[in-house]
Amino acid sequence: MANQEDLFKKIIAHAKEYGFVFQSSEIYDGLSAVYDYGQNGSELKKNIRDYWWKSMVQMHENIVGIDAAIFMHPTTWKASGHVDAFSDPLIDNKDSKKRYRADVLVEDHMAKIEAKIDKEVEKAQSRFGDSFDEQQFRETNQRVLENQKKIDEIRTTFFAALEREDLVAVKAIIEDLGIVCPVSGSRNWTEVRQFNLMFSTNMGSVAEGATEIYLRPETAQGIFVNYLNVQKTGRMKIPFGIAQTGKAFRNEIVARQFIFRMREFEQMEMQFFVQPGQEIKWYEYWKAERMKWHLSLGISADKYRFHDHDKLAHYANAAADIEFDFPIGFKELEGIHSRTDFDLSAHEKFSGKKLRYHDPELNESYVPYVVETSIGLDRMFLAIMSNAYTEEQLEDGSERVVMKIPPFLAPYKVAIFPLTKKDGLPEKASEIMDNLKPDFMCFYEEKDAIGKRYRRHDAIGTPFCITVDHQTMDDNTVTLRERDSMVQTRVKVEELTGIISGKLKNR
Ligand code: GAP
């Protein structure tokens, strides 16, 4: 655990040092849970967004993309249920004056019990060696069973209390479990209250009578309110999808953990409109499809797992998360939700406009059901950064930090180095760069020894480095060095574009 915490700190420091992520308004000591992407971070983020868009929109003839405004008519959020139900249960510790999400306190408590189980399993594993049967151990060991029972009991009673919105019972559970404030160590808690997560602002001048509007807490509603516009103008036939990427805002209470939980973040969402009764089939389809997308990045499958929801959101009849093994543990990266006809029906009711589909096959009209895939771009960025961060001991005894970012997502694809600053090498290197620039993000560097330049590009994940030397002037060849293997090959300048694009393809 300490190692993982250490790793997380290293990734955060690396992200800052190499221009990936900065604290927002840092010169004014920052703004809590708000971050800016630097010169390398914004490239990586754009590449992830483009890859998602390509996979979802370009690769599916029945999915189209839109770009809706952040501001929406305030009734949208009445209809969607966000005004009444988009809140977290809050509790304050009277001694430290720190505020917590009641559900997070209980989940952290369960995680501690889970950690005890893992420790038992680890101990037994080293005791029994190869003959160890983990499943059998988990099913029969008394201490494991007792702890598992505790977790199951907490989960059942706690979720039932949340479901009933019984905040008195929620507080009682926190007290019964003896949960203490991590800062003051005391159990001196306030009552539990609901806290709405939407940010609001005013539109129009006060004299005219300003209207309170919200910064959207999810991009999905921009898709729902445009359902009919897109269906009609695009002549879309069910089943079909509408995708969009864009900013969302939530006044998160627990806002630590770097870009994992932010107050301003970006989502990549797709709403898939289907016949009523077909939604579970499509829900399973998109669960599998989205997992395939993650695995297409070449990240090991054991870094991912599904987590089916016990407690469903107010709009869902089935929901699962794709969780990723971040340095802070397995956490939600993406949600796949079967949202029924909740949103479209609610918008019909609140707007008084029909949001139906006339199905030529069934010869009937209905409000479509919706299966949603919703992934946080910033969380995906963090998943890629934490998976990529590698410290390596090299054969010559030196060390390097290399960001093993999937090459097609890397901020820069190619770095070009003249070996020296004389003998026409810089001019030749610039000429090569000018030829590669239209196809790839390129970086030109002539300062410091080649080894140092390699290290700098390893640290930002540049997959290819090209060195222009004296031999280049004679035979028009360069060395092409690959980031992960560090293998260098001599290749002809005119073949560079073909070789690099071949290696960058991701199908
Ligand atoms: N439209 C459905 C929806 O918004 P959600 O589970 O609340 O569902 C979807 O959010 C995804 O958005 C999450 O899986 C996560 O990746 C991302 N996300 C949510 N809140 C976030 C936050 N405060 N900071 C960063 N990403 C967040």
The per-residue pLDDT for range 107-163, each reduced to its tens digit, is 899 999 999 999 999 999 888 888 889 889 999 999 999 999 999 999 999 988 988
CA–CA dist 135, 133 (Å, integer): 6
Total number of residues shown for the chain: 507
Check if 343 has its Cβ closer than 6 Å to any atom of ligand 1. Answer: no
Q: Which atom of ligand 1 is nearest to the CA of 334?
A: 14
Predicted confidence at residue 185, as pLDDT, reads: 94
Q: Which amino acid is at 108?
A: D
pLDDT 10s digits, 381-440:
999 999 999 999 998 899 999 999 999 999 999 999 999 999 999 999 999 999 999 999
Ligand 1 in reach of 333 Cβ (< 6 A): yes
Cβ of 8 less than 6 Å from ligand 1: no
- 87-196 and 412-504: identical CATH topology: no
The reply to whether CATH 3.40.710.10 applies to domain 412-504 is: no
Integer Cα distance of 155 and 94 in angstroms: 26
Dump strand ranges (E) for 29-114: 35-37, 63-65, 87-92, 99-101
335 C-beta closer than 6 A to ligand 1: yes
Mean pLDDT (whole number) for 187-198: 94
Q: Whose CA is nearest to atom 7 of ligand 1?
A: 218
C-alpha of residue 48 to centroid of ligand 1, in Å: 16
- 495 pLDDT higher than 60: yes
Nearest residue (CA) to ligand 1, atom 17 = 376
477: helix, coil or strand?
strand
Give the H or E element holding residue 60. Answer: none
Q: How many Å lie between the centroid of ligand 1 and the Cα of residue 375? A: 6
- Residue-wise pLDDT tens digits, 24-71: 999 999 999 999 999 999 999 999 999 999 999 999 999 999 999 999
- The answer, yes or no, to whether any atom of ligand 1 lies below 6 A from the CB of 332, is yes
> Does residue 1 surpass a pLDDT of 60?
no
Query: Does ligand 1 come within 6 angstroms of the Cβ of 269?
Result: yes
Can you tell me the mean pLDDT for 487-496? Answer: 97
pLDDT in tens, 82-114: 999 899 899 999 999 998 999 989 989 999 999
Q: Which of 385, 402, 260, 396 minimizes the C-alpha distance to 331?
A: 260
pLDDT-based confidence at 206, cuts 50/70/90? low
Query: Is the C-beta atom of 378 inside 6 A of ligand 1?
Result: yes
**For 273-328, what is each residue's pLDDT tens digit?**
999 999 999 999 999 999 999 999 999 999 999 999 977 777 789 999 999 999 99
pLDDT of residue 256: 74
Distance 219 CA to ligand 1 centre (A): 10
Best residue among 218, 254, 287, 326 to mutate for probing ligand 1, ranked by most atoms within 8 Å of CB = 218
Alpha-carbon distance of 53 to 73, in angstroms, equals 27
82 lines ligand 1 (CB under 6 A): no
Q: Given pLDDT bands bounded at 50, 70 and 90, which one contains residue 165?
A: confident
Cis peptide before 426 (omega within 30 of 0): no
- Say what the pLDDT of residue 253 is: 82
Q: Specify the residue with its C-alpha closest to ligand 1, atom 27.
A: 376
Class of domain 1-82+199-391: alpha beta
Among 332, 338, 375, 382, residue to substitute to test ligand 1 (most atoms within 8 Å of Cβ): 332
Note the pLDDT tens digit of each residue in 235-272: 999 999 999 999 999 999 876 799 999 999 999 999 99
Distance from residue 376's CA to the centre of ligand 1 (Å):
5
Return the ligand 1 atom nearest residue 376 CA.
16
Tell me how far apart the alpha carbons of residues 369 and 87 are, in angstroms, rounded to a whole number.
Answer: 25
- 177-192 b/e (C-beta count within 10 Å ≥ 16 → b): bebbbeeeeeeebeeb
How many angstroms does the Cα of residue 88 sit away from the middle of ligand 1? 14
Fold (topology level) of 87-196: Herpes Virus-1 (3.30.40)
% of residues, the chain, pLDDT over 90: 87
Phi, psi of 203 (to 5 degrees): -115, 135
Using the predicted structure, report yes or no on whether residue 209 has a pLDDT greater than 70. no
Contacts of 437 (CB under 8 A, 6+ apart): none
So where are the chain's domains?
1-82+199-391, 87-196, 412-504
Residue 279: CB within 6 Å of ligand 1?
A: no
* CA 262 – ligand 1 centroid, Å: 10
Output the CA 252–ligand 1 centroid distance in Å.
Answer: 11
pLDDT digits (tens, 9 = 90+) for 317-356: 999 999 999 999 999 999 999 999 999 999 999 999 999 9
